[in-house]
Amino acid sequence: MSNSFDVLVIGSGIAGLSFALKVAQRGHSVAILTKKNKADSNTNWAQGGIAVVTSQTDDFAKHVRDTLVAGDGLCDEKVVREIVRDGPERVRELVEIGLKFSRDADGGYDLGREGGHSERRVLHVKDMTGKAIEEALIKAISREPRIAMFEHMFAIDVITRRKLAGPQSRGADRVLGAYALDVRDGRVLTFSAPVVMLSTGGAGQAYLYTTNPDIATGDGIAMAYRAGVEVRNMEFIQFHPTALYSTTAARFLISEAVRGEGAVLRNLAGEAFMKGYHKMADLAPRDIVARAIDTEMKKSGAAHVWLDITHRNEAFLRTRFPQIYQTCKQLGINIAKAMIPVVPAAHYTCGGVATNLSAETSLDGLYACGEVACTGLHGANRLASNSLLEAVVMAHRGAESVDGYLRAARKLPAPVIPDWIELGAGDTDERVVVTHNWDELRRTMWDYVSIMRTTKRLERARTRIANLDREIGEYYWNFSVDARLLELRNLIQVAELIVACALQRHESRGLHAIADYPKKRKAARDSRLRKT
């Protein structure tokens, strides 16, 4: 079965939906593939908000400076300036399609403040901003006849001209479409499109403890790398400092906005400790706060630290943080009266598929936007709430670029794409291998490639992941594919990239802290990987 479109969007978060809407409004046919339900995305889990300059006391220079400081010398300053500058107009467009940000008593935006920000500039919808953005975009897309939404459709790999013609073929390589698994009936479908946008989010599920939803398995990063596209700075995995402590792998995010409203981190002795680590104390950048918590836990042997917001009254907390308040209450914690047990957890992939400011990758017709991409905005550590800003700005820029690319691509001959060939029937008795390898990978990454690293730990991780790669590679080529197998294949690929990039970086910078190289090098450089 074949489906032909002008543009194929893989992923349904803020990046993919914003991009799809704008491309369709330019007259192009669009298919959105999402491996679960259309609202399942990292965007939907985003609590804090979107950082953008709207206040009269704020300005672009301050936002740029805060971003550069958080990025620890590795941000691309030109990229930072342009994305920050474009932010207000892109937010205005979100408001026009129906997004209602929280307002203060005077009717102005109720601006939040988060770690690393020198001003209040975070627009939010209480503590459910991502969910509100997702709902507004899905509603707008439902009114656009040029967009077709394919739910429960798992993209396996992008199809390229060179992949079909062979590596010795002449001429420039370009995207032709993608193969995708219909998760509900097990069929692999062929989607033909001269443009593919990767907007699949990050790879938090590579780690045992993460704030990310189950879908965050690094699919787009792995697909791009397999297609020969450059991947950058994968060692910079951001660990959110304050996930609700639990004895299970599921860790609910306690938004940084809680500290923006005055919450204080305390060790088990009740001592506020962040002043000893940074001048901004509890509002220091995330990499510093996460390492501080990790240090305090290791010093005392504690399983968590405390987040104390008990100085704020219950009515305020119920109104400002309804989701956090209710979730904690269900676990027996009234956050107005009791401190919250918190720990760091894998949260955001700062590196990813290398793109320019038009969301273009090195492969003609392949674009990437959102957490899957590495634009240079985040550097070695993302500033809080800059992720949704980047997604909406880069989606707009990508749509503009695609419009021009499609006009040129229409002059090219339509490709003949063969159907997917099923190589193996599969043995259900062997499916336990996938579960065991999944667990081993996530624990390996947590134990050896976490907040503090050493070269020896990274090398151990590389050896273990290589073994997993061989096992799953054999499984992939000999058994029928399913979603769980495809996710694990992608996670193993991404884990290899994280470790390989980390071993390239002989310094401690931002989110990459390594005991062998405690100092930061004078010259900042990106880590880069490309499959040959």
Full set of structural domains in the chain with CATH: 2-235+350-409 (3.50.50.60), 237-347 (3.90.700.10), 428-522 (1.20.58.100)
Q: What is the rounded average pLDDT of the residues 128-150?
A: 91
According to the model, what pLDDT value does residue 250 have? 65
CA distances from 416 to 41, 165, 419, 422 (A): 32, 11, 10, 19
Contacts of 401 (CB under 8 A, 6+ apart): 358, 359, 360, 367
Residue 480 has pLDDT above 90, yes or no: no
Least confident of 125-129, 167-171, 264-268, 437-441: 167-171
Judge whether residue 2 has pLDDT over 90: no
Pairing of strands 188-192, 513-514: unpaired
Taking residue 40's Cβ as centre, other Cβ atoms within 10 Å add up to: 21
Q: Could you tell me the two tokens for 383?
A: 């500033």
**Helix 77-96 vs helix 386-409: crossing angle, to nearest 10:** 90
* Cβ-based neighbour number of residue 475 at 10 Å: 21
Contact present, 235 and 505 (Cβ < 8 Å): yes
CA separation (Å) from 153 to 66, 156, 182, 184, 465? Answer: 39, 9, 5, 8, 27
In whole angstroms, give the CA distance from residue 7 to residue 365: 9
Q: Which of 472, 471, 474 is nearest to 484 (CA)?
A: 472
Cβ(225)–Cβ(354) below 8 Å: no
CA atoms within 13 A on the CB side of 327: 18
pLDDT tens string 399-441? 999 999 998 877 777 778 988 887 666 555 667 788 889 999 9
Give per-residue pLDDT as tens, 141-155: 999 999 999 999 999
- Tens digit of pLDDT for each residue in 483-505? 999 999 999 999 999 999 999 99
Contacts of 416 (CB under 8 A, 6+ apart): none
pLDDT, the chain, mean: 92
Cα 275 to Cα 63: distance, rounded to the nearest angstrom = 23
Percentage, residues of the chain above pLDDT 90? 76
Going from the C-alpha of 261 to that of each of 112, 114, 285, 312, the distances in angstroms are 8, 9, 16, 9
Residue pair 7/27 in contact by the 8 Å Cβ criterion = no
C-alpha–C-alpha distance, residues 95 and 84, integer Å: 18
Q: What does the pLDDT average to over 13-19?
A: 94
Closest Cα to residue 199, out of 18, 37, 357, 26? 18
Contact 10, 155 (CB under 8 A): yes
pLDDT of residue 1: 45
Given pLDDT bands bounded at 50, 70 and 90, which one contains residue 130? confident
Q: What is the mean pLDDT of residues 234-245?
A: 94
> Which two three-digit tokens encode residue 145?
């006849």
Phi, psi of 34 (to 5 degrees): -130, 130
On the question of pLDDT at 450 being above 60, the answer is yes
Minimal CA–CA distance to 221: which of 237, 201, 235?
A: 201
Q: Catalytic site residues? A: 286
